[in-house]
Amino acid sequence: MNLTNKIAIVTGGAVGIGKEISMKLASLGAVVVINYRSSAQEANDLLVEMQSLGYKGDLLQGDVSKSDDAQKLFDFTIEQYGRVDIVVNNAGITADNLIIKMKEEDFDSVINTNLKGTWNCCKQAARLMTKQRSGKIINISSVVGVAGNAGQTNYCASKAGIIGLTKSLAREVAKRNVCVNAVAPGFIETKMTQKLPADMVAQYAASIPLARLGKAEDVANLVAFLSSEMSDYITGQVIHVDGGMVMN
């Protein structure tokens, strides 16, 4: 896979899975514009690390749940680099609770960041990429958007919405040579999972056919493939990275 001279935007690209995606795309030659909302130190540290490896990147703070911030992200990228070839919509938050205990603001904040933020960036990307007649949009969903999960009605609704958004947008832009796909990670090793009790992690792992948690790199590898010319005939798909946890 070769992404030399491709211009990529990764939202929520400074930490966790987003960080791994940013590094992977940059390692393949892309110029990566990393969007972050509140992880300023992590974003700066990541850019320094990328530059030390000879990778190319840039940073822009913004809250993509706000349409103005999403537009500024794309305007900045066009001003600096002239085009946008790859957009990875990864920005997301959680605010878990049982529905009878969930506050309305926790539902709204998760939907706004995860779903509306993805929609805002898809709108900007579609506007540019249809004019270019090329581009790759990769939306990060989740297996719980397919299977559901107790205590996450807001999060699951947002991730299920991303799947519907992905399929609809793929139909809208396909004739302009723009591919839109979703990646649905399962249980991935992150700082959050590292804080869980070992017996709980072992219980989760035992329920996965491959009998282990995934790594952020597993997700990044698929995103890289979907960003490359190797996936030019793939669009409108939801691809799970979950060790067989959820099988359609």
Residue 193 lies in a domain: no
Residue 117 lies in a domain: yes
Q: How confident is the model at residue 192 (pLDDT cuts 50, 70, 90)?
A: low
Over pLDDT 70: what percentage of the chain? 99
R_g of the chain computed on alpha carbons: 17
Residue 198 lies in a domain: no
Residue 207 lies in a domain: no
Which pTM was predicted? Answer: 0.96
Active-site annotation holds for 204: no
Residue 201 lies in a domain: no
Identify the domain containing residue 129 by its residue range.
7-186+215-241
Residue-wise pLDDT tens digits, 93-148: 999 999 999 999 999 999 999 999 999 999 999 999 999 999 999 999 999 999 99
CATH number at residue 237: 3.40.50.720
Bridge partners (DSSP) listed for residue 139: 89, 182
Residue 246 lies in a domain: no
SS3 labels along the chain: CCCCCCEEEECCCCCHHHHHHHHHHHHCCCEEEEEECCCHHHHHHHHHHHHHCCCEEEEEECCCCCHHHHHHHHHHHHHHHCCCCEEEECCCCCCCECCCCCCHHHHHHHHHHHHHHHHHHHHHHHHHHHHHCCEEEEEECCCHHHHCCCCEHHHHHHHHHHHHHHHHHHHHHHHHCEEEEEEEECCEECHHHHCCCHHHHHHHHHCCCCCCCEEHHHHHHHHHHHHCHHHCCCCCCEEEECCCCCCC
Count of domains forming the chain: 1
Residue-wise pLDDT tens digits, 37-94: 999 999 999 999 999 999 999 999 999 999 999 999 999 999 999 999 999 999 999 9
Query: Which residue of the set 36, 81, 155, 233 is catalytic?
Result: 155
Residue 1 lies in a domain: no
Residue 192 lies in a domain: no
